[in-house]
Structure 1
Amino acid sequence: MRFVRYGEKGAEKPGVLDADGGLRDLSGVLPDLAGDVLANLPQITPEALPKVDGRPRLGVPVAGIGKFIGIGLNYSDHAAETGMEPPEHPIVFMKATSSITGPNDTVHLPRSSRHADWEVELGVVIGKPAKYVDEADALSHVAGYCVVNDVSERRFQSKLSGQWTKGKSCDTFGPIGPWLVTPDEVGDPQELSLTLDLNGERMQTGSTSKMIFTVAQIISHLSEIMSLQPGDVIATGTPPGVGMARDPRRFLTEGDEMSLEISGLGRQTQRVLQD
């Protein structure tokens, strides 16, 4: 199933896509796509639900996200392009929940930002609590998968002293969506292709098969450190092609347009504005 939330920001309703990609209203079945609902997403026939006319704005497909967790340097080919050694354990950082925005909403660069970068990533949404989870059982805690753009201000990230969080948490730096796709429809999360285009030019091409730490390993590792709760989102790292690793380096400027896609998870597109 492909679940969505649609409508104006702050007033989104739950929805689901039918077999033809049409949007159906799910609000008569459940109040929202959040919390404990994610552990038992309804098995329904979308065609039996009311059809939503027009092309409403799509919001973040999960409401009430408690934690937005990032995994750094998690693709072997991305590590190679940066000249860094693959990490022994997952690199973990947090993105502020205030960075979260809809999949096609505008990305706003902070006033002093001159080194903002793009990162297409597989997002994992937790469906049921996870604490001390074995790798073999980890994927049973997943409600679904989605596309994430881990927008990153590289100067904030590495030059302002402190942790990566500074460069990862700016407002609108966390587009999520368009869909929450259930695991049965995704299949093996380690066999997905990822792409990102900037102004129509291909920047990133990758495969989750190149992850250093798999989705199951990441969930197991995190659950040893902190409890994972329904609605938590994990951005699992990015493939090669980021702006900071290009020669010459290339960063986002006002008027740019990013378009990201992961096989089976849909496409998101953002226009860039400078505050």
Structure 2
Amino acid sequence: MERPKTKSVRATGTSMRVLTAIAEHGGGVSIAELVDRLELAKSTVYKHLITLEEHGLVVNHEDGYRLGLQCLEFGGMARQYDGVYDVAKSEVHKLAEETGELANLMFEERGIGVYVYTARGEQAITFDIHLGRRVYLHTTALGKALLASLSDERVDEIVDRHGLPARTDETITTRSDLFEELDQIREEGFAYNEEERLGGLGCVGTPLETGDRRNAAISIMTPISRLKPEEQRREYTETLHQTANVIEVNLAHGQ
């Protein structure tokens, strides 16, 4: 039985807009910059900032407002609630050590991919994937692996909601191309990203069988030059498969 739809609270929505704008800015942001960006009255922005600051969600530094560490606590609690993060974290770390590359764990939430853990090997690229970073699923190997684990109906809903915006010339931008690639991923068990989000960047990912828990996937991220050789690609997929198998077994047996 569906819950009856209720109206959202406008004030809460405005606070979330302020919080999101601070997060997207990346550093200290002034009230004037927030006013311009959000097109709200200065007094309105100030009131919401004061409230958010009282609850530790933002802090006022010399260079402007930044996210408060209370956000980190909430994020840490959110990624742990069903056990997937706790089980996968150590294996993703081992994956990075074994390959020497950047290894990642992503969850799907509301049709968006969220990076929840990253580990760096000895030869890992310098790439800023901060925890909680959100990306369109069709632009990454992790995201496409997640989409492949969903029904076609659910994928259609996600595309209807978020579209298929291009990030590079290689990004998939049509439903037909997306579904064709998802069929291939389902058959092979692996998704690839060849400069579809950033030039020079390659990635191979695979979905995790998590039972009734949230949707998750893991990946190895590397310069595209290291993903091109067939032998290297095969080595990455085999290692990724082994890691996924260990995680899935541990999840199935409640480890």
| Bigger proportion of residues as helix | 2
Query: Do they superpose with TM above 0.5?
Result: no
Instruction: Tell me the TM-score normalised to structure 1 length.
Output: 0.28
Structure number with greater Rg is 2
Instruction: Tell me the TM-score normalised to structure 2 length.
Output: 0.29
